[in-house]
Structure 1
């Protein structure tokens, strides 16, 4: 790693934490603590307001802003590959936003690095999310973000049809299918719904159908309750 890149990462890491020790920086950057002490001292001499001292920890003074981000070639290649793979499984709005972000990132790279990143030989064939499910995924994601309840028509793995009112908590991708994790008000418990088994989805737009986080019914509670059996059921279609 170039020293300039290491100095930049030190500032980034310190900025993202309340207090950072030299040991943490050394482990993150794979250098000695002595190197960290020297680098921090040089940054302080250059006017970066790093507060603290060796043996105690460091933090960044208020009001300091970094110059525009620069990316290494490997980082740019990783972004290109990630966007290519994700776009075929995202909803239309996220796919378009991903491409926009990638274009902005590539635009700040030197020409040779930009060409090399765009030539990354990693591709995702267009056989991802069924086009008929893309608008549904976008609706579900937006309902999660706005905390809007949904009314669902659902067919489970045994072909039983039910109607549910749910609090959408998160959208999960399992490599072949998307599911909606939710608190089901009909069943009074956490449930996962495969998108390919939803026949109808309708947001409940009235103000009283917005929900707030409630103990025992949040995404964090759902994740704590998840178990390997649930994952297996998701992939086999037994939900």
Structure 2
């Protein structure tokens, strides 16, 4: 993570909690304590009013805030509830990205709203069935869909055969606690579906593909037509 991005993320973290320990920040951003101390000094030098308590941690002086983004309490509650639901899915990248988004939401809430959200956080429960083979690629796939970027994947088929593919990602859907990527497979020269929990390695290439006239509705209609044709033949 570049330093500017880390400094911004530290600022958001400081706004989302009353007190933040240096060790917590060091673990979160995978840097040394010395780096965190330098980052805190840089924020202080930039005019951010940061207080510190020995043995406790860092905090923002009351009255300082990022440019406001207004959320109602019900909107904040809905986002928190959605985060609990997302935690039950089997893709860790989605969970991580959503948690980062929730921290930014909490950072701009009033102190009274944060306290209410803490109460709600402790009183919402969703059953999380541990996935046997969790995935961690959805975030990359989503970005590649919007960037029209070719992905290289290492994939294990139902028969346990291992294969390497270049694919053009076109869409994703969630079913039976599993994310499925719909993509044009250059090896098979046709649309294919890939379970993200069977993708062992995923690489963003530098190659972009041409925009395809693709919608999920057309795709499913085409698949349903092929299914009916095979049944009747």
- TM-score interval for Structure 1 and Structure 2 normalised by the shorter chain: 0.5 to 0.7
In structure 1, the residue matched to 2:126 is 124
In structure 2, the residue matched to 1:153 is 155
State the shift of 1:142 in Å: 5.0
- The question of whether the paired residues in 1 share the 8 Å contact of 2:83 and 2:99 is answered with yes
Instruction: Tell me the TM-score normalized by structure 2.
Output: 0.52
Stretches (4+) displaced over 4 A: none
Query: Structure 2 CA distance, aligned partners of 1:84 and 1:77?
Result: 11
More RCO (CA 8 Å, sep 6+): 2
Query: Structure 2 CA distance, aligned partners of 1:83 and 1:153?
Result: 29
State the shift of 1:185 in Å: 1.7
Matches within 5 A, 1:86-105: 86-89=86-89, 91-105=91-105
In structure 2, the residue matched to 1:191 is 192
2:218 equivalent among 195, 207, 224: 224
- The question of whether the paired residues in 2 share the 8 Å contact of 1:150 and 1:168 is answered with no
Matches within 5 A, 1:1-239: 68-89=68-89, 91-120=91-120, 121-130=123-132, 132-144=133-145, 146=147, 147-156=149-158, 159=159, 161=161, 163=163, 164-198=165-199, 200-203=200-203, 205=205, 207=206, 210-216=207-213, 220-227=214-221
Instruction: Tell me the TM-score normalized by structure 1.
Output: 0.51
State the shift of 1:202 in Å: 4.5
State the shift of 1:115 in Å: 2.1
- The question of whether the paired residues in 2 share the 8 Å contact of 1:83 and 1:98 is answered with yes
State the shift of 1:138 in Å: 4.6
Alignment partner of 1:190: what SS? Answer: strand
- The question of whether the paired residues in 2 share the 8 Å contact of 1:81 and 1:123 is answered with no
CA RMSD in angstroms, aligned pairs only: 3.3
Structure 1 residues 133 and 139, CA gap change in structure 2 (3 angstroms): farther
Structure 1 gap ranges (5+): 1-66, 234-239
In structure 1, the residue matched to 2:56 is none
Query: Structure 2 CA distance, aligned partners of 1:214 and 1:102?
Result: 32
- The question of whether the paired residues in 1 share the 8 Å contact of 2:178 and 2:195 is answered with yes
- The question of whether the paired residues in 1 share the 8 Å contact of 2:172 and 2:181 is answered with yes
- The question of whether the paired residues in 2 share the 8 Å contact of 1:165 and 1:184 is answered with yes
Choose 169-178 or 85-94, whichever is displaced more. 85-94
